[in-house]
């Protein structure tokens, strides 16, 4: 049976969930944040999963209306501040990938503070992808190696990335079957699972079913 150490999720469908209910897209993002809490708690208490990487804001998401971008930034800051007890209670360490540079000083401060407070938690590492794009990550890594005058090999490039750990299982919600610039390098041999469920409707019960499906797959990694 396949081991599941690193799970990654493209949390998609918040806007459509809200639209179906005649609500503003922001309501979908709010409900989505609650699902982040439920899924993180489930993963922290799962016997195998050590890392959960969540796609929250892409390098392309800046194209959205200013109002939506601002709302997402505020929601994130609020989540990081309000959920501290959830992180501590479930022994979850918080980390990020992506370029944090463009974020506001107060959001950067909230990110730094939660990382510091949760750094010794051992049950699960939750990595949130913020202003993350795999192409941007790879370019930053290559530039870093060039600057340090290091040779570019699979190992040196891997280690220069924001995320040096391969993904075992990648799930995307909302029915879209694409990667949208998420973890291009790290999904080289990941198993992919696409569900039609919109992220605000996603539950730990469905996650458990997907994990059971993953367990039964045959991962060959190019061998026979």
Q: Pick from Mg ion, ligand IPE, none: which does 58 bind, CB < 5 to 8 A by kind?
A: ligand IPE
Helix axes 105-118, 66-82, angle to 10 degrees: 30
Helix axes 66-82, 25-44, angle to 10 degrees: 30
Using rule CB under 5 A, residue 30 touches Mg ion: no
CB of 112 vs ligand IPE, minimal distance in Å: 21
Cα separations (Å) of 201 from 97, 196, 198, 204? 25, 10, 5, 10
| Residues engaged in binding ligand IPE (CB under 6 A) | 10-16, 55-58, 61, 72, 174, 176, 178, 180
Which of 8/124 has CB closer to Mg ion? 8
Using rule CB under 5 A, residue 172 touches Mg ion: no
Alpha-helical segments (H) within the chain:
14-20, 25-44, 66-82, 84-89, 105-118, 134-147, 154-160, 204-215
Using rule CB under 5 A, residue 12 touches Mg ion: yes
CB of 12 vs Mg ion, minimal distance in Å: 4
For residue 61, indicate whether it is catalytic: yes
Q: Which stretch binds Mg ion (CB under 5 A): 7-15, 65-73, 155-163, 213-221?
A: 7-15
Q: Pick from Mg ion, ligand IPE, none: which does 125 bind, CB < 5 to 8 A by kind?
A: none
Q: What's the farthest any 2 CA atoms get from each other in the chain?
A: 55
Pairing of strands 6-10, 51-58: parallel
Contact 8, 182 (CB under 8 A): yes
CB of 209 vs ligand IPE, minimal distance in Å: 21
For residue 201, indicate whether it is catalytic: no
Using CB under 5 A, list all residues that contact Mg ion: 12
* Active-site residue set: 12, 61
């Amino acid at each position: 049976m396949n081991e599941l150490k690193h799970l990654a999720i493209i949390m998609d469908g918040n806007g459509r969930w809200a639209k179906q209910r005649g609500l503003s897209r922001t309501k979908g993002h709010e409900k989505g944040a609650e699902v982040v809490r439920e899924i993180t708690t489930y993963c922290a208490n799962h016997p195998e999963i050590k890392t959960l990487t969540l796609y929250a804001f892409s390098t392309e998401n800046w194209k959205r209306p200013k109002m939506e971008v601002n709302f997402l930034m505020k929601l994130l800051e609020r989540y990081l501040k309000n959920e501290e007890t959830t992180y501590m209670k479930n022994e979850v360490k918080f980390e990020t990938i992506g370029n944090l540079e463009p974020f506001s000083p107060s959001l950067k401060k909230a990110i730094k503070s939660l990382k510091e407070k949760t750094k010794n938690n051992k049950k699960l590492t939750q990595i949130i992808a913020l202003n993350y794009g795999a192409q941007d990550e790879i370019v930053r890594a290559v530039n870093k190696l060039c600057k340090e005058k290091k040779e570019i090999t699979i190992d040196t490039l891997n280690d220069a990335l924001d995320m040096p750990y391969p993904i075992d299982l990648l799930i995307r919600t909302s029915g879209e079957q694409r990667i949208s610039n998420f973890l291009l390098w790290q999904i080289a041999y990941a198993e992919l699972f696409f569900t039609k469920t919109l992220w605000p409707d996603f539950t730990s019960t469905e996650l458990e079913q997907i994990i059971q499906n993953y367990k039964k797959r045959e991962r060959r990694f190019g061998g026979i």
